[in-house]
Structure 1
Amino acid sequence: MIRVGMGFDVHKLVEGRDLWLGGIKIEHEKGLLGHSDADVLLHAVSDALLGAANMRDIGYHFPDNSSATLDMDSKIILRETVRLIATKGYRVGNIDATVCAERPKINPYVQAMKTCMAEVMGIDEDRISIKATTTEKLGFTGREEGISAYAVCLIEK
C-alpha cells in the first residue's frame, strides 16, 4: 500500500534567532520565530508524513504550548515522526519539498539539507528533493517577513 501526504509550514523572520532550515544552521541576520527551532522545512515534511499515515499533524504530537517541546531541535520532531509512521507499518518512499524565501539564497545549502535529512530519517538522499523559490518580492515572503515550506511525500507499507 502507498499513501501520499502534503505539508505546509510558515514562520516569521525575526532578529535574535538562529536560522535553521532542513536541519542545518544557515548564516543570516534573522532567524525564524517559533516554539521549537522553527525549521519550516522539517515541519512541512513531518506534517506531510503524518498526514499520509493519517496520524494528524505535528501540533498534535508536538504541541507548541508544552515545555517539553520548547526550543526543540526539529530533527528530533522529524526522527520521531518517522518512528510514529513506522508504528503503523509505513516507511518513507520519497519527499519533494520547496522552500519559499527571498533571502538567504537556499540553493547553496540544498545538498547539506538533503544529507542531514537523509541521516535523520535513515533513508537514501536520492529519496529527498529540495527546491527553492521566491515570491518575486510579493507578499510576506517577498517583504522578507517570513519563510514558508511545502512538502509532498509518499509512504509505503
Structure 2
Amino acid sequence: MKNMIALTGIGYDIHRFAEVPRPLMLGGVHIPSSRGLDGHSDADVLCHAIADALLGAAGLPDIGYWFPPGDPSCKDIPSLDIVAKAVSLIRERGGRIVNVDSSLIAESPRISPYLEQMKGALGAALGISPVRVGIKATTNEQLGALGRREGIAAFAVAAILMPEDLTMP
C-alpha cells in the first residue's frame, strides 16, 4: 500500500448576476430566483470554488485551464461536470477526496433551504458522503458589490489524500 499524504487547497469564485434571464445554479441545484449568474458555463460559483480547491490541493492548474471560457464546448455546461473532472484528475493520480468545506456569500436569494440538497448533489459528484460536504451561507452585510446584490461569491477548501511519491506530469 502506498504512503498517502494529506493536501489542502483553497478556491474562490465570483459571478455577477446576468442581464438576461437564466437559471440560478448553486452547488448543482437550481435555486428559484428571478436572476441567474452570468458566465460561460452554468456559472455555479460554489462548484467552481470547490473545483479550484480540489485542483489546487492536487497541484493542478485551475478550472480555466481545463474549461477555457472561450471554448464553445464549455458553453452552459453543468458545473457539477467541472467538479467531476477535478475528482477524476485526482483519482487518475491515485488520490481521493477527504472532504470539502465552503461558504456562499449572497444577499439574496435565501440559500439555507437548499443546503442539504446541495450537499447531496456535491457529495455524489465528489464521491463522498454528504456529511463530508460543508456549505455555509452568509451575507456581505450590504457592503461592496455583493452587498449591493450585484452577484454571488463562494470560498471553498478541500482536503485530499495523494500518494506521497507522486510525480506530476
Q: TM-score range by the shorter chain?
A: over 0.9
Question: Counterpart of 1:32 in structure 2: which amino acid?
Answer: L
State the distance in 2 between where 1:154 and 1:121 align.
Answer: 12
* Aligned partner of 2:96 among 84, 91, 96: 91
State the distance in 1 between where 2:127 and 2:101 align.
Answer: 16
Question: Counterpart of 1:39 in structure 2: which amino acid?
Answer: D
* Aligned partner of 1:28 among 33, 45, 51: 33
User: Do structure 1's residue 131 and structure 2's residue 136 form an aligned pair?
Assistant: yes
User: Do structure 1's residue 120 and structure 2's residue 138 form an aligned pair?
Assistant: no
Instruction: State the Cα distance separating 1:76 from its structure 2 match.
Output: 0.8
State the distance in 2 between where 1:90 and 1:127 align.
Answer: 16
State the distance in 1 between where 2:92 and 2:62 align.
Answer: 16
User: Do structure 1's residue 10 and structure 2's residue 14 form an aligned pair?
Assistant: yes
TM-score by length of 1: 0.98
Identical columns (%)? 46
Question: Counterpart of 1:89 in structure 2: which amino acid?
Answer: G
State the distance in 2 between where 1:112 and 1:118 align.
Answer: 10
Tell me the secondary structure at the aligned position of residue 128 of structure 2: coil
**Unpaired stretches in structure 1, ≥5 consecutive residues:** none
When the two chains are superposed, the root-mean-square deviation of aligned CA atoms in Å is: 0.7
* Aligned partner of 1:53 among 42, 55, 58: 58
**Unpaired stretches in structure 2, ≥5 consecutive residues:** 163-169
* Aligned partner of 1:105 among 110, 113, 127: 110
State the distance in 2 between where 1:108 and 1:130 align.
Answer: 12
Q: Greater Rg, structure 1 or structure 2? A: 2
Segments of 4+ in structure 1 off by > 6 A? none
Tell me the secondary structure at the aligned position of residue 31 of structure 1: coil
User: Do structure 1's residue 145 and structure 2's residue 150 form an aligned pair?
Assistant: yes
Q: How many residues are paired up?
A: 157
State the distance in 1 between where 2:90 and 2:145 align.
Answer: 33
Tell me the secondary structure at the aligned position of residue 45 of structure 1: helix
State the distance in 1 between where 2:126 and 2:53 align.
Answer: 14
Give the corresponding residue for 1:67: 72
TM-score by length of 2: 0.91
